[in-house]
Amino acid sequence: MDKPFAITLDPGSSLANRTGSWRTYKPVYLDRLPPCNAACPAGENIQGWLYHAESGDYEAAWRALTENNPLPAIMGRVCYHPCEGACNRQHIDAAVGINSVERFLGDEAIKRGWAFPKPEKKSGKRVLVVGAGPSGLSAAYHLARLGHEVEIHEAGPYAGGMMRFGIPQYRLPRDVLNAEVKRILDLGVVLRLDTKVANIRESMQVGKFDAAFLAVGAHIGKRAFIPAGDATKIVDAVSVLRSMEGEEKPMLGRRVVVYGGGNTAIDVARTAKRLGATEAIIVYRRTREKMPAHDFEVEEALQEGVMVKWLSTIKQAGEGEITIEKMALDDKGFPQPTGEFETLAADSVVLALGQDVDLSLLDGVPGLEIKDGTVQVGPNMMTGHAGIFAGGDMVPSERTVTVAVGHGKKAARHIDAWLAGGAYAPAPKHELAGFEKLNPWYYSEAPHTLRPTLDIIRRQSTFEEVQGGLDEGNALFEARRCLSCGNCFECDNCYGVCPDNAVIKLGPGKRFEFNYDYCKGCGVCAAECPCGAIKMVAEDI
């Protein structure tokens, strides 16, 4: 080539200059563990399913959700959502309404008739599940999807466990429960109702089962000694709530006293109100702050006219009235009697003091360890007896539907591995995407969406559902409030902010890649990634 005066070299591109060699730190993409996922007792990939919901693909969202939990419409009503307590968005405005989006997806699935995919291959193994509560249903679902033949033996006349015989209809309509149970049975799971297992080893032998998962819950109402005359009606909360499912509604009278401070006490008091009690009074020996019931439920009960006597114990029950003693908290926060008494009119006293497990089906099984009335299990959910696994309320746990579902899933995975002669190794957990890993500047202001609530008159007299759901518009909005903590959501920031064009955009759904030939390691991309999906790591030099 003929060159102009004083020019001796061809013009070249700066691409010849590999500035990547300047680098001492390099950026790498990673997936961090969102705090919601870390907090979910059922091990849901919340950020993962919200990601699909954000784009309006609700079916993909529901499918991602049900990989871990087959009961989203139920969850969206009864779960105490520890995910929201952990959600990073609370440090910006308010937590994402994960629970309300979950309910929307669950209801949408019922409306549209979405079904679970049938297992591709059969294992030829048979597993017995005892109890059709959330834990048993969850285990059955996962075992069926893993290709095992599953039979559920349930003592009661309906499936659902405490979701049917405990949680009142105004919180969980039964058509929702039925729809989600049916979808699990449609996978080929056999459900035998009115089939109480009296001896587990015998039932396993007779039915030729290779393994069993026990989830019989805790159904025996705890008693307290209360001196009482013959005329006083003392019943336990679980029996009252159970009889709500039968033909004959319980007769509690016009003035009902409930003894206890948990969610069951609240539910039974609210039920009594709806059955026509003029007074429903909860007697609890400690203060509101110390109450194990969730505050929002206490609030809803108070709104409906339920009354609470804090710092009180029942001393005696007589004809049409009871005597209570005032308590005072000592320096350690324990309630102590004061010697001050009061009488309350009462037609009946309902004890809601917690439940014990009926372990009789395990009589004579060798190797078991029973402690504090619950069966001990290992990290793989197996009891001391090989092949017998257990979960839910009958093992030491927080006793919630969500924990029960989580136990069912975990047990199913271990049973599957155990049946194949191996051991299940869960994937290693990613590091946590704490709030300090995010760059919150980039998120738009977006206040939390509130769910509609049934008006108060209908709440006092009917069993209609109290809390409403979101519609499509606000469910989408709520899903899009998610910060996508620790997981790339393709906002193009890294691609845009690199002063060296060293980020390659791979196209929709494919995320990005670094071009280490030119990346100088300045770290701007990592600093400006909104969701903390880039990490700077030292180069070995």
Ligand X SMILES: Cc1cc2nc3c(=O)[nH]c(=O)nc-3n(C[C@H](O)[C@H](O)[C@H](O)COP(=O)(O)OP(=O)(O)OC[C@H]3O[C@@H](n4cnc5c(N)ncnc54)[C@H](O)[C@@H]3O)c2cc1C
Q: Distance of CA 187 to CAs 111, 207, 442, Å?
A: 19, 20, 44
Q: Is 138 in the site for ligand SF4 (CB under 6 A)?
A: no
Q: Is 452 in the site for another protein (CB under 8 A)?
A: no
Strand pairing partners for 265?
Answer: none
Q: Which does 306 bind (CB under 5 to 8 A by kind): ligand SF4, ligand X, another protein, none?
A: none
Q: Which does 161 bind (CB under 5 to 8 A by kind): another protein, ligand X, ligand SF4, none?
A: ligand X
Look up residue 312 and give its two tokens: 């009180």
Q: Which does 88 bind (CB under 5 to 8 A by kind): ligand X, another protein, ligand SF4, none?
A: ligand SF4
Q: Is 72 in the site for ligand X (CB under 6 A)?
A: no
Q: How far apart, in whole angstroms, are the C-alpha atoms of residue 317 and residue 238? A: 20
Number of residues in the chain: 541
Q: Is 484 in the site for ligand SF4 (CB under 6 A)?
A: yes
Q: How far apart, in whole angstroms, are the C-alpha atoms of residue 53 and residue 73? A: 15
Q: Distance of CA 109 to CAs 58, 74, 106, Å?
A: 9, 12, 5
What is the x/- site pattern for ligand X, positions 110-139, by CB under 6 A? --------------------xxxxxxx---
Contacts 24+ apart (CB under 8 A), 457-460: 459/170, 459/303, 459/304, 460/273, 460/274, 460/304, 460/305
Q: Is 60 in the site for another protein (CB under 8 A)?
A: no
Looking at the Cβ atoms of 87 and 163, the one nearer to ligand X is 163
CA 527 to chain centre: 33
Query: Which one among 20, 23, 26, 36 touches ligand SF4, defined by CB under 6 A?
Result: 36
Look up residue 301 and give its two tokens: 């009960």
Site of tokens 């730190």:
25
Q: Is 14 in the site for another protein (CB under 8 A)?
A: yes
CB of 197 to ligand X, least distance (A): 4
Q: How far apart, in whole angstroms, are the C-alpha atoms of residue 372 and residue 389? A: 18
What is the x/- site pattern for another protein, positions 25-54, by CB under 8 A? -----------------------------x
How far apart are the two ends of the chain, measured CA to CA in Å?
42
Q: Which does 163 bind (CB under 5 to 8 A by kind): ligand X, another protein, ligand SF4, none?
A: ligand X
3-state secondary structure of 536: strand
Q: Is 61 in the site for ligand SF4 (CB under 6 A)?
A: no
Q: At 335, which helix (H) or strand (E)?
A: strand 335-345
Q: Is 98 in the site for ligand SF4 (CB under 6 A)?
A: yes
Q: Which does 388 bind (CB under 5 to 8 A by kind): ligand SF4, another protein, ligand X, none?
A: none
DSSP state of 463: -
Residue 335 CB coordination number (10 Å):
19
Stretch that binds ligand SF4, among 45-53, 222-230, 271-279, 378-386 (CB under 6 A): 45-53
Q: Which does 21 bind (CB under 5 to 8 A by kind): ligand X, ligand SF4, another protein, none?
A: none
Look up residue 478 and give its two tokens: 């709520």
Which residues 307-336 are close enough to bind another protein by CB under 8 A? none
Q: Is 393 in the site for another protein (CB under 8 A)?
A: no
Q: Which does 491 bind (CB under 5 to 8 A by kind): ligand SF4, ligand X, another protein, none?
A: another protein
Site of tokens 């109402």:
221
Query: Which one among 483, 494, 503, 525 touches ligand SF4, defined by CB under 6 A?
Result: 483
Looking at the Cβ atoms of 5 and 225, the one nearer to another protein is 5
Query: Which one among 404, 411, 482, 534 touches ligand X, defined by CB under 6 A?
Result: 404
Size of the site for another protein (CB under 8 A): 55
Pairing, β 355-356 against β 279-283: unpaired
Looking at the Cβ atoms of 136 and 486, the one nearer to ligand X is 136
CB of 480 to another protein, least distance (A): 5
Q: At 485, which helix (H) or strand (E)?
A: none
Q: How far apart, in whole angstroms, are the C-alpha atoms of residue 44 and residue 22? A: 42
**What is the full DSSP assignment across 288-306?**
TTT-SS-HHHHHHHHHTT-
Q: How far apart, in whole angstroms, are the C-alpha atoms of residue 178 and residue 49? A: 24
Which residues 484-513 are close enough to bind another protein by CB under 8 A? 484, 489-493, 495-502, 505, 507-508
Phi then psi for residue 432, to 5 deg, are -70, 140
Query: Which one among 29, 116, 477, 516 touches another protein, defined by CB under 8 A?
Result: 477
CB of 441 to another protein, least distance (A): 7
- Three-class secondary structure assignment of 437-450: HCCHHHCCCCCCCC
CB of 344 to ligand X, least distance (A): 23
Phi then psi for residue 281, to 5 deg, are -115, 125
Q: Is 64 in the site for another protein (CB under 8 A)?
A: no
Looking at the Cβ atoms of 50 and 362, the one nearer to ligand SF4 is 50
Q: Which residues bind another protein (CB under 8 A)?
A: 9-19, 22, 54-55, 441-446, 477, 480-484, 489-493, 495-502, 505, 507-508, 515, 517-518, 520-524, 526-528, 530, 536
Q: Which residues bind ligand SF4 (CB under 6 A)?
A: 34-36, 46-47, 50, 87-89, 96, 98, 482-485
